[in-house]
Amino acid sequence: MSTSRAATPRKLLMCPPSHFDVTYSINPWMVPGKPTDRALALLQWEQLRDLFRTLGHTVETIEPLPGLPDMVFAANGATVVDGKVLGARFLHAERTAEGPAYLQWFEQHGYREVLWPEHINEGEGDYLTVGRRILAGTGFRTDPRSHAEAQEFFGLPVTSLTLVNPRHYHLDTALAVLSDTEIMYYPAAFTPGSQAVLREMFPDAIHASDEEAALFGLNAFSDGLNVLLPQAAQGLQEQLRARGFNPIGVDLTELLKAGGSVKCCTLELRD
């Protein structure tokens, strides 16, 4: 297996969970009424942010807004490729105000090519860039018509993948990009046709077991060498190590109560 992996420094956008809570349920992980510990959520989030910085990445932050408990999941705020920003348009009313809030951040930070989308799309939750291609999820949140909108806007090939398991409601809960050519994913989260497409495109991909997928192990961030993923997903960590990656377990158990982990908290700013 490859031993010459190298990390490339990334620019990331994150949002502190200052208003985090589980007050509504829009995915099966969210159980309103089950106690959450905001101080612990903040501590765990800060550890992730500091880890990114220690690894040499640049972390920008956006001001969290009251009344938007899911705003911590910055991955959903937009999709940024080649400096172009495709704004997010959320499916659920509880999150709609996040779209304009994130878009405003980009407008205030010098991004010139910004598109307010016509169709529902939940940012990098459903759009994952692999090299010069974009994998696009649908089935629960992002409208399949958004995929054509994204392809036209970015001028990059967009491959549609359909999700079927409500516990993996966003693409980034079922598939993680490891390098410009490699991914890991949970086949059972996809329709048979989408599984076949993934096998065709990535015959050597790492497959996650039911158990590892249920631990949210695919909600991972890779810089090409270091792969940050939920601490509990030990089996995936072993598979990653065997392929020459450096897996780093991260504890984000509080945010998991809202159905999010490492990748959900992280929006990559690709210039």
Question: Where does this chain bind ligand ARG (CB under 6 A)?
Answer: 26-27, 30, 70, 73, 75-76, 95, 125, 170, 172-173, 258-260, 264
Q: Residue 73, Cα to own-chain centre: how many angstroms?
A: 8
For the bound state, the minimum distance from the C-beta of residue 141 to ligand ARG, rounded and expressed in Å, comes to 7
Shortest Cβ distance from residue 46 to ligand ARG (Å)?
A: 19
Strand pairing category for 58-61 and 11-14: parallel
Nearer to ligand ARG, 136 or 243 (CB): 136
Question: Burial letters for 134-169: b for 16+ Cβ neighbours within 10 Å, e otherwise?
Answer: bbbbbbbbbbeebbebbbebbeeebbbbbbebebbb
Instruction: Tell me if residue 170 is catalytic.
Output: yes
* 119 in catalytic set: no
Which of 140/243 has CB closer to ligand ARG?
140
Kindly give, in sequence order, each residue whose CB lies less than 8 Å from that of residue 63, ignoring residues fewer than 6 positions away.
Answer: 15
Q: Which residues contact 82 (CB under 8 A, 6 or more apart)?
A: 154, 270, 271
Q: How far is the CB of 36 from ligand ARG (least distance, A)?
A: 12
State in angstroms the smallest separation of the CB of 203 from ligand ARG.
26
CB count in 10 Å sphere of residue 51? 16
The closest of 28, 72, 25, 24 to 48, measured between CA atoms, is: 72
Q: Which is nearer to ligand ARG, 13 or 243 (CB)?
A: 13
Nearer to ligand ARG (CB atom), residue 87 or residue 243: 87
- 3-class state of residue 246 by DSSP: strand
Q: What are the structure tokens assigned to 100, written together?
A: 């304009």
Annotated active-site residue in 57, 147, 170, 265: 170
Q: How far is the CB of 264 from ligand ARG (least distance, A)?
A: 3
Strand order in the sheet with 246-250: 221-222, 226-230, 246-250
**Nearer of residues 124 and 223 to ligand ARG, judged by Cβ:** 124
Cβ pair 251, 228 in contact under 8 A: no
Q: Which of 15, 57, 264, 265 is catalytic?
A: 264
Catalytic residues: 170, 264
